[in-house]
Every structure is written in structure tokens, then in C-alpha cells.
């Protein structure tokens, strides 16, 4: 066996934290490992000014200089391989395997690569990370799938007007795309554009008059108009038409919850047979609204699956249950998963305030403010 010496021969106490993964690294070799095994999440960061500055701080001025040179290479695969070869860390077989993967990836059109990266963040519920990548993908191609996914991300953030605009662009490309049309109607309803929604429903009925989502959308429109009895009837009708979609019952439970009919909300939710993360998160929400934080915590614990927003919600339940120490432990896990997530940052600030750590509370608020400023500048560009 060959012994490999680390590039750094002294202990480093100041880690570099990758923004996309939240992983902290303490040595140059750990950076190499991160880039090799998480290259999709590393591509915008491993040659950044922040990384080069950190590497310089380790005492590796030669590596920092070479990284600036490598940054000028045109192809991503060349940049990655030149970087990974700065130190004799990986064997040839590991690099050959990665080269094959990268070469296949680079053969794809640019918008597809950006969409793939955006989809990765979308699956993790990291809307703020996904949206800029989808926007960049649209610079290369007015693609319906990209527009649809971008709209979904906007809607998850409550930006329904932006979502509606994206879906209108998608329908201009593919007017008969049924899936996009349904999303358009949903966005129109949530944006308060009921005439546009009604027109979209008529067009959808002409394509597939018996689709369960049509009853769901009519229920959603009734709900937005505060006609709760009609909304419940439509959601139940949608569930009867397709019992494989748990979301219909979740929305019915939401209506009961809004009416403060907590027992009915819970009974409606419990009709769902597939008990997944979404189920337990909704169950926790009902218990919390009902005032049973102990059971809300148990349900949210079952909902956890690595999403930072779920950890933040669990931390909030602990905080509301007058257990700020436990809340602090949980929110630290959320921060490790997504240090840039503003929902996580906001809950962290609340917890610090509850612990009486006013200096840390103020620092957390400042971070949130800076994040909002950065997002504002991005939106203007």
C-alpha cells in the first residue's frame, strides 16, 4: 500500500462550507473528494473566489494560482480534471470513470444540463437554488418542461403571478399540453385570476372531461372563494374518481383545518393509506393547530427525510413547546443541510431569541436581510 501525505501538514480550524450541500471541509483533499463525488453540486463553487481565498489561507498559494489558470479552461470536464490532478490523490480508474460520465454529460444540450441540476435542487425543496438554474436554461431554449418546473418552484414560494406567467409561456409553445394546462389553471386560481382559470378548465374539459384533477381544481377555486362546503364536495369527488392521489384528501383536510374542525381534518387525512413524509407532515400540522404539540413533534419526526424545511418545522414545534434547547439541536441539523435557506435562518433567529442569545439573534436576522438583498439583486438582473 502507498502512503499519501496530505498537502496540509498542520491542523486547520477554519472549514470551507459548500453552499449547495452544506458540507464542511477542512483540507484540500476533502475539497477534491467533494468535487469528485458531488461534481454537479460543486461546478459553480470549486473555482470560485471564495474557494481560492480559502485555499490561499491554508498556505497553498501555488494551488490557488493554478486554480485561477484552470478557471479559464473552456470545457467543464477540463476544469474538473485539471483541478483533481493538482494533487496525486485519485487513482487512474476513478478518474477514467468520472471522465466517461462527464463526456456523456457534455454531449447533451446546455439547457438539459442546467435543467438536470435545477431538478436536483427542486427534489430537495430548495426552490431558491433551483430557480436561477431554470432561468439560465431558458436562455438556451424556450422549453416547456423547464417553464413548467420553474412555475412549480415559483408557486411553492407563493409567487403565483410569476408561476402563471411561466405557464402562459409554456402554453404558447404547446397549447394542448394537458399537464401544463392543469398547472396553469391552478396558478390562475391561486393568483386570483378566476376568469383565466375558468377558461382553462373549459379547455381542459375538451381534452379529458373525466380527469379527477378537474374536480380538484373546481374545489380549489371554491376554496379560494371561501365556499368551503363546495370545496369539500369537489375534493371528495376528486378522491372518488382517483383514490391513488392522496393530495385530494390532504386538501379536504386543509379545508377542515381552516374551519377549525380539527377532528374532521384528522379523520379525513387518515383515509389516506400511504403514510409517507407528506402525510406525517400534514398530520403534524393538524396536531399543532389543535394545540397538541407533543403529538405534532412525533408526527413531524416521522416526516423527516433530509429536507431542511421539515427540520425547521420540527424545531419550531419544539420551540413552541417551550423546549428551546431541543429546538436549537434540530435547527442546527437544518442549517447543516441548507445554510442558505431563509426559512431555516428565520427559525434559527427565533430560537436564538428564545434562548436569550440576543447577539446571535441579531446576527441571524442580518444574514436573512443580506439574503433577501441578494435575491432582490438577482431578480433585477
Strands 24-25 vs 16-17: parallel, antiparallel or unpaired: antiparallel
Mean pLDDT of 93-99: 85
Q: How far, in Å, CA of 361 to CA of 379, rounded?
A: 27
pLDDT tens per residue, range 228-252: 999 999 999 999 999 999 999 999 9
> Looking at the predicted structure, is the pLDDT value of residue 377 above 50?
no
Residue 27 in this model has a pLDDT that exceeds 50 = yes
- The cell numbers describing 124, all together, are 430537495
The arithmetic mean of pLDDT across residues 27-43, rounded, is 90
pLDDT at 381: 25
Q: What pLDDT is recorded for position 1?
A: 45
Q: Mean pLDDT over residues 312-331, rounded?
A: 96
Split at pLDDT 50, 70, 90, the class of 5 is low
Q: What's the pTM?
A: 0.68
**Alpha-carbon distances of 178 from 192, 199, 240, 321, rounded to whole Å:** 21, 14, 21, 45
Beta-carbon-side half-sphere exposure of residue 317 (alpha carbons within 13 Å): 26
pLDDT, position 361: 82
pLDDT category of residue 301 using cuts at 50, 70 and 90:
very high
Instruction: Kindly state the average pLDDT of the residues 94-113.
Output: 83
Task: Please say if the pLDDT value at position 56 is more than 60.
Answer: yes
Question: What does DSSP assign to residue 271?
Answer: T
State pLDDT tens for residues 355-374: 898 888 888 788 777 655 54
Q: What is the pLDDT of residue 22?
A: 85
Q: What is the pLDDT of residue 8?
A: 67
Which residues, including other chains, have CB under 8 Å from residue 304's CB and lie 6 or more apart?
277, 310, 311, 314
Amino acid at each position: 500500500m502507498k502512503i499519501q501525505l496530505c498537502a496540509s501538514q498542520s491542523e486547520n480550524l477554519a472549514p470551507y462550507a459548500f453552499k449547495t450541500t452544506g458540507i464542511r471541509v477542512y483540507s484540500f483533499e476533502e475539497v477534491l473528494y467533494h468535487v469528485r463525488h458531488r461534481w454537479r453540486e460543486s461546478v459553480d463553487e470549486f473555482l470560485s473566489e471564495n474557494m481560492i481565498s480559502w485555499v490561499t489561507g491554508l498556505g497553498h498559494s501555488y494551488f490557488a494560482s493554478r486554480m485561477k489558470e484552470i478557471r479559464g479552461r473552456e470545457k467543464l470536464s477540463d476544469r474538473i480534471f485539471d483541478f483533481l490532478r493538482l494533487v496525486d490523490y485519485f487513482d487512474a480508474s476513478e478518474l477514467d470513470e468520472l471522465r466517461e460520465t462527464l463526456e456523456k454529460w457534455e454531449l447533451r444540450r446546455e439547457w438539459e444540463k442546467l435543467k438536470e441540476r435545477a431538478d436536483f435542487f427542486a427534489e430537495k425543496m430548495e426552490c431558491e437554488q433551483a430557480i436561477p438554474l431554470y432561468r439560465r436554461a431558458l436562455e438556451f431554449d424556450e422549453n416547456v418542461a423547464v417553464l413548467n418546473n420553474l412555475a412549480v418552484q415559483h408557486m411553492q414560494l407563493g409567487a403565483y403571478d410569476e408561476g402563471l406567467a411561466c405557464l402562459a409561456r409554456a402554453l404558447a409553445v404547446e397549447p394542448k399540453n394537458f399537464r401544463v394546462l392543469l398547472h396553469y389553471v391552478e396558478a390562475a386560481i391561486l393568483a386570483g385570476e378566476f376568469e383565466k382559470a375558468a377558461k382553462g378548465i373549459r379547455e381542459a374539459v375538451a381534452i379529458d372531461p373525466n380527469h379527477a384533477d378537474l374536480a380538484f381544481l373546481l374545489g380549489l377555486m371554491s376554496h379560494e372563494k371561501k365556499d368551503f362546503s363546495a370545496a369539500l364536495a369537489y375534493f371528495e369527488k376528486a378522491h372518488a374518481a382517483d383514490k391513488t392521489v392522496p393530495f385530494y384528501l390532504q386538501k379536504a383536510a386543509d379545508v377542515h383545518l381552516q374551519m377549525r374542525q380539527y377532528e374532521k381534518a384528522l379523520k379525513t387525512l387518515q383515509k389516506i393509506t400511504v403514510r409517507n413524509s407528506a402525510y406525517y407532515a400534514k398530520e403534524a400540522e393538524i396536531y399543532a393547530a389543535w394545540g397538541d404539540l407533543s403529538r405534532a413533534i412525533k408526527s413531524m419526526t416521522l416526516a423527516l427525510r433530509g429536507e431542511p424545511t421539515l427540520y425547521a418545522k420540527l424545531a419550531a414545534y419544539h420551540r413552541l413547546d417551550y423546549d428551546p434547547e431541543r429546538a436549537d439541536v434540530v435547527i442546527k441539523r437544518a442549517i447543516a443541510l441548507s445554510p442558505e435557506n431563509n426559512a431555516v435562518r428565520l427559525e434559527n433567529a427565533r430560537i436564538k431569541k428564545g434562548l436569550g442569545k440576543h447577539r446571535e439573534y441579531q446576527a441571524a436576522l442580518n444574514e436573512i436581510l443580506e439574503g433577501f438583498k441578494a435575491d432582490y439583486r438577482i431578480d433585477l438582473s
